[in-house]
Amino acid sequence: MTNDGMLEESGVVTDVSGERARVRTERKRACGNCAVNDACGTSLLEHFFGRRPVELTVLNQVGARVGDRVTIGIRESSLLGAAVAAYLVPLLALMLGAAIGQSLGGAWAESASLLGAALGFVLALLWLRGYSVRLAGRSGYQPSILRRLGPTSAVLAAPSAPADGSA
């Protein structure tokens, strides 16, 4: 992260289409600087799933071309706001729905609580769908290429299937 509130990552442009570009980034190791290092759940997931490259569609306002090494970024506040909406709102709606169901359930309080929790969660997911569509149209909530670092000498190729035929 930089001082101006941007989360940054470097990558290589794999495709350009109009004002957008596809950028392939390599996930950074989550446990590189942690004191617990390899003894946590994140480390276990990383060993199980591996560190595969990630491809993102980003705004290309600097005129990057295929093969260019670039730095992409997104405002920290945008990412934080989206994370709150994606994680906290459904959780709060689930708990609120359960509480309302419990209070209105009478003799069937437990069943009403479960039904209220499920209804609150589903309503939150429907709200989240509309909210994410609204955010997708705002440039501040989309990652963009911040600067070109220059061309890369790496060959850009799609991952190939293993030679033994396993997938």
Q: What is the 3-state secondary structure (H, E, C) of 52-97?
A: CEEEEEEECCCCCCCCEEEEEEEEHHHHHHHHHHHHHHHHHHHHHH
Residue among 167, 161, 142 nearest 60 (CA): 142
Does position 115 have pLDDT exceeding 80, yes or no?
A: yes
Q: Which residues contact 2 (CB under 8 A, 6 or more apart)?
A: 8, 73
pLDDT bucket at 56, cuts 50 / 70 / 90: confident
Close Cβ partners of 122 (under 8 Å, ≥ 6 residues apart) = none
Q: Which two tokens stand for residue 107?
A: 């003799």
The residue among 41 and 156 whose pLDDT is bigger is: 41
Tell me the pLDDT of the chain averaged across its residues.
80
Is the predicted pLDDT of residue 21 greater than 80, yes or no? yes
CA count, 13 A, side-chain hemisphere, 77: 4
Tell me the average pLDDT across 110-125: 95
Residues 6+ apart with CB under 8 A from 63: 148
Assess whether pLDDT exceeds 90 at residue 161: no
CB atoms within 10 A of CB 68: 21
More confident residue, 32 or 83: 83
Residue 42 pLDDT level (bands cut at 50, 70, 90): low
User: Can you give the pLDDT at residue 155?
Assistant: 47
Q: So what's the pLDDT on residue 3?
A: 43
Query: Helices then strands (H, E): number in the chain?
Result: 4, 5
**pTM of the full predicted structure?**
0.62
